[in-house]
Homo-oligomer: A and B are copies of this chain.
Amino acid sequence: MSDVLVPETRVLAVASHVAYGHVGNTMAGFVMQSLGCEVAALNTVNFSNHTGYRQFKGTRATAQEITDLYQGLCQSNLTDFDVMLSGYAPSAAAVEAVGAIGIDLQKKAESKPGSFFWVLDPVMGDQGRLYVNDDVVPAYKKIIDHADLILPNQFEAEVLSGIKITSLATLAEAITAIHKIYSVPHVIITSVQLPGSATVESSPSSSQNFLTIIGSTTRSNGTPRLFQVDVPALDCFFSGTGDMFAALTVARLREAVVNAGDDLLHTRSWVSPDDVPANELPLAQSTIKVLSSMHSVLERTMEARDAELAKETSEPCGATSPEEQQKREHLRQTKAAEVRLVRNTKLLREPLTQFEVQVLRKEDVAIDRC
């Protein structure tokens, strides 16, 4: 087989299912499978489409239903997972049920350090607001100390750390706090847009916006090893990119850890020795591959979206109200922006672009702080 696949990895993916489009498990499952991971998808909701359409039908799983499905796996000895990826859960009780699964899998793997790794995406909100019930926040705070890697966005990192992120300095503070409060050894804060600092001139005629991704793996004394990657921002809103990031990270991080050798793979939580610098961490190396695949797929998605929107205009209907017209146009635009996954799996398997990863040093943070 000439396919470029990551080492064999068995993943339990706990997140939402949508019939149409790609978010939650419907994104993460296929992404990990495309890279060669064996994925068991335990679905926490079953919707017709993602909520970005502003309307959907379907059902949410209760905490009991989530627990039952896991018990089904247990009773038939189907729990030999290397990694668990947990994403959206529809209630505080569901978050607790997912937490109990992660803790149980961890317990089963206790005698073999490194044989189980939990990637937790604390899906709570974005852009300054919660989109879950208030009681979901403490539910997450209770389980995060069991996770090996968490992937909050900027807002979620603020909620978890209690620190408002306005600069590289406060970003570094937030990560340091998360390491400390939750004893979580790996953190990546996905897509941060910092005022001012993240714009550079890419050509004489246009300025290009960048997204900053910051990650860290703790040292043995609990201090962070911070790295930073900047990627060009695309002028389009896509749904499911957080799930895509998480799924690619599962596959690429395990690949990097396997490549680093048996010592690391059999180390609890895959924490590299203290002498490994931030930019050489498996987490950093995996992140640049992840971002490369994402950037290429999203570029293709934007091209396809533009072509689709240019091609078919909403049929003008004299009889419909302006509100109805606007709603139709929103549906059309949302559909056109669905991530183009299935025709672009080669970009997942073989990342093209090479982004740079930089060590984020105290000096940088200090300068930024001024």
A-side residues, CB < 8 A to B, are 1-3, 5, 8, 12, 17, 19-21, 26, 30, 33-34, 36-43, 46-49, 53, 55-59, 65, 68-73, 75-78, 328, 331-332, 335, 341-346
Q: Which residues of B contact A342 (CB under 8 A)?
A: 33, 36-39
Residue of B8, B30, B332, B346 touching A30 (CB-CB under 8 A): B30
Q: CB distance A68 to B75 under 8 Å?
A: no
Q: Which residues of B contact A344 (CB under 8 A)?
A: 1
Residue of B17, B20, B38, B343 touching A78 (CB-CB under 8 A): B20
Q: CB distance A5 to B72 under 8 Å?
A: no
Q: CB distance A57 to B46 under 8 Å?
A: no
* Shortest 7 CB-CB contacts between residues of A and residues of B: A48-B72, A57-B72, A20-B78, A20-B40, A57-B68, A19-B40, A19-B42
> In the bound complex, what is the Cα–Cα distance between A1 and B235 (angstroms)?
24
Q: CB distance A76 to B58 under 8 Å?
A: no
* Given known A-B contacts A43-B17, A73-B19, A78 and B335 have beta carbons under 8 A apart: yes
> In the bound complex, what is the Cα–Cα distance between A343 and B345 (angstroms)?
14
> In the bound complex, what is the Cα–Cα distance between A73 and B53 (angstroms)?
11
Q: Which residues of B contact A341 (CB under 8 A)?
A: 33
Q: Which residues of B contact A71 (CB under 8 A)?
A: 48, 57
Consensus secondary structure, chain A interface = mixed
* Given known A-B contacts A17-B17, A335-B76, A343 and B49 have beta carbons under 8 A apart: no
> In the bound complex, what is the Cα–Cα distance between A56 and B41 (angstroms)?
15
Q: CB distance A48 to B19 under 8 Å?
A: no
Interface centre among A20, A37, A41, A53 (most CB of B within 10 A): A20
> In the bound complex, what is the Cα–Cα distance between A77 and B335 (angstroms)?
9
Q: Which residues of B contact A17 (CB under 8 A)?
A: 17, 41, 43
Q: Which residues of B contact A38 (CB under 8 A)?
A: 342
Minimal Cβ-Cβ distance residue in B for A39: B342
Q: Which residues of B contact A55 (CB under 8 A)?
A: 72, 75-76
Given pairs A3-B343, A47-B72, A55-B72, 6 additional interface contacts (CB within 8 A): A5-B343, A17-B41, A19-B40, A20-B78, A34-B34, A58-B72
Residue of B12, B36, B46, B49 touching A73 (CB-CB under 8 A): B49
> In the bound complex, what is the Cα–Cα distance between A8 and B340 (angstroms)?
12
Q: CB distance B59 to A73 under 8 Å?
A: no
Interface centre among A5, A77, A332, A342 (most CB of B within 10 A): A342
* Given known A-B contacts A76-B331, A335-B77, A343-B5, A46 and B69 have beta carbons under 8 A apart: yes
> In the bound complex, what is the Cα–Cα distance between A160 and B265 (angstroms)?
55
Q: CB distance B73 to A3 under 8 Å?
A: no
Minimal Cβ-Cβ distance residue in B for A54: B76
Q: CB distance B343 to A69 under 8 Å?
A: no
* Given known A-B contacts A1-B343, A20-B40, A344-B1, A49 and B76 have beta carbons under 8 A apart: yes
- What would be 22 A-B contacts, judged by CB atoms less than 8 Å apart? A3-B346, A12-B19, A17-B17, A17-B43, A19-B40, A19-B69, A20-B73, A20-B76, A21-B78, A26-B41, A30-B30, A30-B33, A36-B343, A37-B342, A46-B69, A47-B72, A49-B72, A49-B78, A57-B71, A59-B65, A76-B331, A76-B335
